Amino acid sequence: MYTTRHSLMERIRNRYDQVAWQEFFDFYGPLIYRYGRQRGLGHDDAEEIIGRCFENLNEAMGHFEYDPQRGKFKSWLKKLVNNKINDFLAQRREGRFSESRLELQIDPRQDLEQLWEQSWRQELLNYCTALVRREIPEAQYQVFQLNVLEGCSAERVAELLSISCEQVYRQKYKVLQKIREKMQNLLDEESRHDA
């Protein structure tokens, strides 16, 4: 069953709802990781930032009250993640971490707002793709995966799967349409709840 992120926020107020927390982690964990890596953190350090953020989230969500007047959850989360990354980098500068743990290549001119928004949109796309994958036949997803995600030509996909090129285009279009619909629904919901 599809659960909206707003209703998910309500469910994770119960820190013992493991299903809700897993769903929450499945969406926000990769977002935090991607953003950390784009900020220049190495793999292990980005994973550590996820842990630090979720520790804080676990504490904060128990008394979370959604109030659109106070701002968007997405903005609050961005601030939390940036604070955790900045704290991590400050600790590194103070010598609390070894030099080899960090692969820093941060451009000081980097637009963190744009970087966050790109990471957010990419994880939203990944999330919607995963939702659609569970709803469609495996053969249909295989066409999409080969043609769109792996970049095989329609002719090659048709050859590999013993179908026509027309079927490749048709299946690809259907999957993309479903993903777009999921994304639009989530973006519309985000607008309604964060307006």
How confident is the model over 162-173, as pLDDT tens digits?
999 999 999 999
**What is d(CA 152, CA 146) in angstroms, rounded to the nearest whole number?**
6
**What is d(CA 138, CA 146) in angstroms, rounded to the nearest whole number?**
12
**What is d(CA 1, CA 135) in angstroms, rounded to the nearest whole number?**
10
Please report, for residues 138, 144, 158, 161, 162, the alpha-carbon distance to residue 166 in angstroms, rounded to integers and kept in the order given. Answer: 18, 13, 9, 13, 12
Q: Identify the CA nearest to 123 among candidates 32, 23, 56.
A: 32
Q: Which domains does the chain have, with CATH numbers?
A: 1-135 (1.10.1740.10), 137-195 (1.10.10)
pLDDT digits (tens, 9 = 90+) for 7-34: 777 788 777 888 888 888 888 999 999 9
With tokens 């080969």, the residue in question is 146
The segments of the chain whose pLDDT lies below 70 read 1-6, 64-69, 71, 95-110, 191-195
pTM here? 0.65
